[in-house]
Structure 1
């Protein structure tokens, strides 16, 4: 049986790319705009892919389209195919031009804001020709990006167990109670649990993994916190705390600069359990890695004194 021609393979890849864009945009019209194609062209490509696979990929509800169960399956594989081809092209470019290449890092927002910038600055100083890409999301989204081949490495803050993922703990990130200097000046040098229960809290939005963690800590301390403000990012929380609107329970990595500069003050709370988040590196198990990625992993090894599989 003859395999697909080069032109046929190229067309299949284009059809998969167009299909993924329709999924991500939620409509043929928006996908056509993003791809700079006509809507009939997008419809034709998706139709050709359905004919090739002999399945229906979408159902329509009004102006939006939704994946069928088999469409979900095809979408999962299509993303992997597209990114595998991209990694192959990148590996060839790196072979032709040693010292170049790219590294795509997936991480949670706190790592992207507070940990990654210093790491990337050190990496770029040693490897100025390597292109760096960063994709942020929550822990689950970061794992999904890694499994789909959309990122080379991932950095997460919750434990991960998956047969296709290698996990390397990098560092512990303790949780501390912080306040603005003026707010802290009116508090006793040692803040008891009873004191803490009377203070206004500024916290992460309900339902977020970090909020669930802090709620559990406070519950174990016998405290029902009085939340006066809730935000979906640590920057907003820190700003409100620094302005004196209340206190917050935050990871050290998120507030370290403000503690050093004096914008925030760490409160002495003896009743606070010794609790920390573990920041970990996640990698696809057994995968061949480019020179650029191996160099990034080497930097992590030196910085955090760990051993990382660098196949």
Structure 2
């Protein structure tokens, strides 16, 4: 029993003849006859009494009709749902975002996408970049926005922008000129993203610079979120690292001063997806919004967003 056979059966009942069913389905009358005959042969039961000008259901046909209608209607609704999703009309999409996405793009991204696609549900996971990588690898997330470097086994990486990393302090003297790693380690340091510690890409850059100078970077305070780190900095308890885009955010606290590093340091923000996967139009549209927002706030462009779905088959 196939959905095509059931469609032919329902159309024959509704039209009263195989000819009417053929017209409704856009096929030939012998095709409809063959489909229904195969259905009858499969179950070894006649479905119609073939006398007179109009078809009459047998007991078996009457029993099958309600089930056939339900199956055909369900299949049609499923097809409509996929067509609508392809047209970015409704459905659910899951995107992993870097932990500090709220400072970069998150509220604006959500608002812009919702205005364009009000019936699409967004599931946004604001995690550390390493957790986003695992979510994409496992298929829990369709794609992710991360800070590089990340382990790229089984992944495709599309760099979007570079954002300069700055040193932040409540003391103007600490950031009166470009900062060296020697100056960083000479004062109390506050670092965030404690769950992943030195796996964090930006932390690793700082640590490597300290090691190259024979120094050790030991934070006085470690917290989970950037907001908490900035609060401690504003109270004069230590200094921390921030990206330039964060300093341009309306959420950035007053009274915190920043300076670049003597040797400039950058975060590279990228889109990741599973290797050879095809992103849905909805997720591609969302990534386009993120890319545009990032380029407004950190315009050092280093790459392009993922290609549209058709391009991945080339």
Deviation per CA, 1:154-183: give whole Å up to 9, x if none: 111123464642211011122111112xx2
Contact 2:143-2:271 within 8 A present in 1 as well: yes
Is 2:308 aligned against 1:310?
Answer: yes
Matched residue count = 219
Moved more, 210-219 or 276-285: 210-219
1:119 paired residue number: 109
Question: What SS does the corresponding residue of 1:263 show, helix, strand or coil?
Answer: coil
1:165 paired residue number: 155
1:243 paired residue number: 235
Change (3 A) 1:292 1:280: same
Within 5 Å, give how 1:152-231 maps onto structure 2. 152-160=142-150, 162=152, 164-180=154-170, 183-184=171-172, 186-187=173-174, 189-190=176-177, 193=180, 195-204=183-192, 205=194, 206-209=197-200, 210-220=202-212, 224-225=216-217, 227-231=219-223
**Structure 1 residue aligned with 2:287, among 272, 276, 297?**
297
Rounded Cα–Cα distance in structure 1 between residues aligned with 2:104 and 2:289: 17
Within 5 Å, give how 1:275-286 maps onto structure 2. 275-286=265-276
Within 5 Å, give how 1:1-311 maps onto structure 2. 93-96=81-84, 99-111=89-101, 114-160=104-150, 162=152, 164-180=154-170, 183-184=171-172, 186-187=173-174, 189-190=176-177, 193=180, 195-204=183-192, 205=194, 206-209=197-200, 210-220=202-212, 224-225=216-217, 227-257=219-249, 262-267=254-259, 270=262, 273-300=263-290, 302-303=292-293, 304=295, 306-311=304-309
Contact 1:214-1:249 within 8 A present in 2 as well: no
Q: Extract unaligned runs of 5+ from structure 2.
A: 1-76, 296-300, 310-314
1:58 paired residue number: none
Larger Rg over CA atoms: 2
TM norm structure 2:
0.58
Q: Extract unaligned runs of 5+ from structure 1.
A: 1-88
Change (3 A) 1:91 1:276: farther
TM norm structure 1:
0.59
Change (3 A) 1:229 1:91: farther
